[in-house]
Amino acid sequence: MDATIAAASEILEGSLASMRQVIAGSTAESLNWRPAGEDTNTIAVLVVHAMHSTRWWLSIAIGAPPPPRDRPAEFREVVDDVDGLLARFDEIAADCRALLDTEAPFEAGVTRVAPSASRAGRSQHSETVTAAWALVHAVEHLREHVAHAELTSQLLPRA
């Protein structure tokens, strides 16, 4: 395995384990709790957004077709049960692992076109990034949201 892909896989695994631990240690109520009112993200939102984003950017990084994605819907996520979110998490985590499970050399300097995404209802133009940028962004963005989810979990009101 390419050393860069191996490093990204190791970082990905640590982040996935941490995020799964947050989910598994929660209740549906705590997954949907907003720490500072309606303008803040729930753990469920953080999980769904982070996982879809990670899979999408990893696809860009390795040159696979990006999966369909409804980014605005990710921020409206409400879950009914922990097991359902864990199942969705595990499915996307497996997809992310599979994207990095390759013997092909990683061409870090190759440029890729990231298709346009909708951010807060505004259409955004496609952007051109290197494969290296997409790979690093995938793992750093996931780690950022893992930390958000962990902090939100720590802030939960205790009975």
Instruction: Domain 3-155: state its class.
Output: mainly alpha
Q: What is the pLDDT of residues 116-156, one digit of tens each?
A: 654 444 456 688 999 999 999 999 999 999 999 999 999 99
Whole-number pLDDT of residue 127? 87
- How far apart (Å, rounded) are the C-alpha atoms in residues 154 and 158? 9
Host H or E run for residue 97: helix 82-100
- How far apart (Å, rounded) are the C-alpha atoms in residues 66 and 59? 5
**Whole-model pTM?**
0.93
Using pLDDT thresholds of 50, 70 and 90, give the confidence band for residue 159: low
Q: What is the pLDDT of residues 42-82, one digit of tens each?
A: 999 999 999 999 999 999 999 999 999 999 999 999 999 99
- How far apart (Å, rounded) are the C-alpha atoms in residues 141 and 49? 10
- How far apart (Å, rounded) are the C-alpha atoms in residues 136 and 130? 10
